[in-house]
Copies of this chain bind each other. A is one copy, B any other.
Amino acid sequence: MDLDPAQLKALAAVVDEGSFEGAARLLSVTPSAVSQRIKALERSAGHVVVRRARPCEPTVPGRALLRLAREWSVLEAEAAGVLGGDDPDAHVRLAIAVNADSLSTWFPPVLAGLAPHVLLDVRREDQDHSAALLREGSVMAAVTTDSAPVQGCRVHHLGDMRYLAVAAPHFVARWLPEGPTHEALGQAPLLAFTGKDALQDRFAEQVTGRRVDPPRHLVPSNHAFVELVMRGLGWGMVPEQAARAGAARGDLVELAPGQHLDVPLYWQHWKVGSHWLGVLTGRVVEHAAAELRS
């Protein structure tokens, strides 16, 4: 199988832009040139690589080629950087996925010290999605709660993110006057990030020994989540630092002092030998060691 980087780039452009016309604009060629490259790629690969739909999407064999296209473009940009010296166009783009709680707490400083020609494309994703993004090559690394290595990736354990169960003082007085009993936690409304967020349920089961299924609000924004817990909409699991800061101000109280949930976080990244991915990995591991529980 002889693969042509220009054809792989056409595939990546079609997927990124969602259409052959968009890819043609991006690559500054005609739509028919894009179409010819995709057809040639399909002949080489022996598979249809992209579903002609709105938007265009990679097929299963197309996804493997898409990942190869992304890996090639990173390596090529790095080689160009080495060869080209100070060419201002020689940017390296690092696409990564980061779970929402990391993105709103310990992760931003990791990104602040990279060289100016490294451009970051950050996705805010839950762990289910991160694995798919790594597999198809849309991102080259991810901070995720998923320890199962994605094919072709290496996994580092970064440490644990600690969560405390907190609520507003008037919420506790109204709903949990006798503490986090099974009956009280079965009725008191809780906040969850999304329908898949089971942190609150796990904590309630840990504290009471049984499952509960109280009414729940879904609020998928870290800022809004903490603010609405402080305003008494429900109780929720909040990252340790924000929980302690709220408690110190008198805005939050812990439901079960001394109890917590620790969520292990992992850094999954492609095995491809990219210099900048290596630098980023070093920074991620270093900051995680300082900011997360080990």
Contact = CB atoms under 8 A, between A and B. Distances in A.
A93 to B, nearest CB: 9
Q: Quickly give the copy total for this chain.
A: 2
Q: Is the interface of A mostly helix, strand, loop or mixed?
A: mixed
Contacts of A282: none
Interface stretch (A45-53, A152-160, A225-233, A263-271): A225-233
A228 B124 contact: no
A221 B104 contact: yes
Contacts of A107: 224
A104 B224 contact: yes
Size bracket of the A interface: 35 or more
Contacts of A221: 100, 103-104, 122, 124, 222
Interface of A: 88, 91, 100, 103-104, 107-109, 111-112, 116-117, 119-124, 187, 189, 215-224, 227-228, 231-233
Q: Which 10 A-B residue pairings sit nearest by Cβ, starting from the closest?
A: A112-B231, A104-B223, A108-B227, A103-B221, A120-B217, A121-B218, A108-B224, A103-B224, A124-B220, A122-B219
